[in-house]
Structure 1
Amino acid sequence: MTTLPRRIAHLDMDAFYASVELLRYPQLRGLPVVIGGRSDHKPVMQTDGSLRFSRLRDYVGRGVVTTSTYEARALGVFSAMGMMKAAQLAPDAILLPADFEAYRHYSHLFKAAVASITPQIEDTGIDEIYIDLSLLPEDSLTLAKRIKQAVFVATGLTCSIAITPNKLLSKICSDLEKPDGITLLEMADIPRRIWPLPVRKISGIGPKTEKKLISLGIETIAELAQAKLGFLQTHFGRNYSIWLHEASRGIDQRPVITCSEPKSISRETTFERNLHPRIDRAALSEALTHLCKKIAQDLQRKGYVGRTIGIKLRFEDFRTVTRDTTLATYIADDISIRRAARECLRRVPIEKKLRLLGIRVSTLSSPHSLPQISDSTQGELPFELHEQN
């Protein structure tokens, strides 16, 4: 019996959040647009019927860029950059708040479009998926064009897709021809297409590893591929060295996992200013309530209940503290989540101002597999803090 060669695709939506916003505001096409900040940056309808958009130079706070259009990226503005720094680089860029409900909607649309062609999909994020195309009869270029067309018809958005023998190579290659690109690669193409790239292009090599590799004289994937395994093992752990050795040669046997269960569902918010535990109690309570409601909605939408509730606190000095509690029964409603989160808060001495609050629900299960879900209590639960004597 002949084994068919593996054909694994990685599909990545182009500047996804920004592209969704441009569907809503087509007059902004071709302009530098930055997504992030507060909801009060929404466009304002003027008396003449036109929209007035906020500019990045008007932003005051310490939020971070969620994403940006390619025009803004050309000015040096990228995701996870501080908004104030971005304002220095592109003060005239249009500023829009993130609308995650809309992004989730379009995420569902593009994944459903691909699923109509093949169900062999691994969902890895709101804007990207892996697809196993090994059993489909069409050639790779035809499939890539067919998938891209289906996504565009369903969403009006473009995507970039790479088809290679494995996930590692496809992840690298989907970024090579952005936006709206197609990349096809075989193992024989690795020396020409992959080896000249910097080592950070390999998913799994982070900033710290990249810095260490560069200090060892290894900057490109080719130089990593030429490094002796024994040399790598003197500087990295055995298993990680083996992975580096294989990844640089494009070796990756991981399957496309079509059924995966999330380990946790979380939400967090970074405050525009540091909040005092007593003076800003009302604002903290409101933030806690909002996060718990959002997580409850996430649980309902994804069809899960959870038993372990955790909190994450980041103080003004950037010290981060986490606490969690495991309940006797599974819950999914915001009031029960908030009650458990409050119990976790009581275990943390909060004496400094807070810059971030996060809530996480883990130990997830499907409610259909449980005999009963705990009843929720009624009433508002305040943001209570452990007072020091």
Structure 2
Amino acid sequence: MDSVIIHVDMDAFFSSVEVMDNPSLKNKPVIVGGVSERGVVATCSYEARKFGVSSAMPIYKAKALCPKGIFLPTRHYRYKEVSNMVFELLYGITDKIEPVSIDEAYMDITDLKENPVVVALKIKSMIKMELGLNISIGISYNKFLAKLASDWNKPNGLKEIKKEMIPDILMDLSIKKVHGLGKKSVEKLNNIAIFTIRDLYDLPIEFMQEYFGRQGVDIYNRIRGIDNRSVSAIRERKSVGRETTLKKDTKDKTQLKRYLLNFSRDIATQLKKANFSGKTITVKIKTASFENHTKSKTLNKYVFDEEEIYNEGEKILDSIELTEDIRLIGISISSLKKDLVEQLTLF
């Protein structure tokens, strides 16, 4: 049976996080990177891209193209924080995840036995509901085609490339889309009038091997839909958590506790699914003035049960004096260990 691989890629991640934290930036040309004239663009919103701004572009050039752009310094600590939230949601789907970068990953969902489009829509919905962010997703039977699909109709895209579509669907694409061909390799091929995958497809494998060495065989196979690379699940889980930005700011603890209860239920489900337990409970809040606060408690035993997680989270929330309304509430469990014995219910 063919594998089912998903490639997920957050849309304009850094600038999207800035908009998430400051909604007044929505639909504006946000450009994140070095703010000095010698800096470069890390990423930019799609509104800025309409002016020709792109990643790695010098700031002075971006300012010339988009003089009314909103230029912001990078906040890597915050992007990492949001990235962790995204990955926690992804790990609720499967543990077979290979992170590629802070905002990109491969997921092997072969064992789920579910319609991959339904799984992809579930992921998109979760991330939109919990974080207000868009993600583009590609689906196929190998990593090369899944990544190609995720880039097909960005932003907020969803594309599935099936086996019967190969090679026709690839033919008119630029060779820039082929994983393994860098800028210099593309220029080298352009110099001999190779611009599209159709042009590349006509070259014999011997030529590709001589031209690019061992990598030439990989490229020859990939444009024919062959890519045997597996998804390498290399990440050790450090915590499991859920959080959400509230639709309306509040300091009503009864309402906030309802969120903690729902989150505790989801966290317990993830822990049992992965056969993990933990002993440090952390409650996180963000105030209406965008200040983050966390408070933790480390237990004298490992827990995985919904009720125990919620009870500790409730105690922590009760101990926090809320002096202003809250716009975000979350709870997580860390200090995890893998249980060697399967967790069983009483009945």
| TM-score of Structure 1 vs Structure 2, range by shorter chain | 0.5 to 0.7
CA contact (8 A) 1:191 1:222 kept: no
CA contact (8 A) 1:222 1:248 kept: no
Instruction: Give the aligned partner of residue 254 of structure 2.
Output: none
Superposed, which structure 2 residues align to 1:223-242 within 5 Å?
A: 223-237=199-213, 239-242=214-217
Give structure 2 stretches of 5+ with no counterpart: 237-347
Instruction: Give the aligned partner of residue 285 of structure 1.
Output: none
1:33 aligns with one of 26, 30, 33: 30
1:255 aligns with one of 227, 230, 239: 230
State the distance in 1 between where 2:108 and 2:209 align.
33
State the distance in 1 between where 2:10 and 2:212 align.
34
Instruction: Give the aligned partner of residue 203 of structure 1.
Output: 179
Deviations 1:333-369 (A, max 9, x none): xxxxxxxxxxxxxxxxxxxxxxxxxxxxxxxxxxxxx
CA contact (8 A) 2:29 2:44 kept: yes
Deviations 1:155-205 (A, max 9, x none): 221100011010111111101111111101112213332221101111221
Amino acid in the other structure paired with 2:32: I
State the distance in 1 between where 2:167 and 2:223 align.
10
Superposed, which structure 2 residues align to 1:124-203 within 5 Å?
A: 124-203=100-179
Instruction: Give the aligned partner of residue 301 of structure 1.
Output: none
Task: Return the offset for 1:260.
Answer: 5.7
State the distance in 1 between where 2:63 and 2:152 align.
28
Instruction: Give the aligned partner of residue 67 of structure 1.
Output: 43
Instruction: Give the aligned partner of residue 361 of structure 1.
Output: none
Instruction: Give the aligned partner of residue 82 of structure 1.
Output: 58
State the distance in 2 between where 1:192 and 1:249 align.
10
CA contact (8 A) 1:114 1:150 kept: no
Task: Return the offset for 1:230.
Answer: 2.2
CA contact (8 A) 2:175 2:195 kept: yes
State the distance in 1 between where 2:232 and 2:167 align.
28
Residue 11 of structure 1 pairs with residue 5 of structure 2: no
State the distance in 2 between where 1:253 and 1:234 align.
22
State the distance in 2 between where 1:215 and 1:109 align.
45
User: Identity over the aligned pairs, expressed in percent?
Assistant: 39
Structure 1, 228-237 or 63-72: larger mean CA deviation = 228-237
Aligned to 1:177, the other structure's residue is in SS state coil
Instruction: Give the aligned partner of residue 302 of structure 1.
Output: none
CA contact (8 A) 1:197 1:221 kept: yes
Q: Please tell me the root mean square deviation across aligned C-alpha atoms, in Å.
A: 1.5
CA contact (8 A) 1:63 1:82 kept: yes
State the distance in 1 between where 2:221 and 2:24 align.
47
CA contact (8 A) 1:37 1:63 kept: yes
Aligned structure 1 segments of 4 or more residues deviating by more than 4 angstroms: none
CA contact (8 A) 1:8 1:166 kept: yes
Q: Taking structure 1 as the reference length, what is the TM-score of the superposition?
A: 0.59
Instruction: Give the aligned partner of residue 331 of structure 2.
Output: none
Task: Return the offset for 1:150.
Answer: 1.9
Deviations 1:120-177 (A, max 9, x none): 1111110011000111121111111111112223322110001101011111110111
State the distance in 1 between where 2:68 and 2:139 align.
38
State the distance in 2 between where 1:236 and 1:259 align.
29
Instruction: Give the aligned partner of residue 44 of structure 1.
Output: none
Q: Taking structure 2 as the reference length, what is the TM-score of the superposition?
A: 0.66
Amino acid in the other structure paired with 2:225: G
Aligned to 1:81, the other structure's residue is in SS state coil
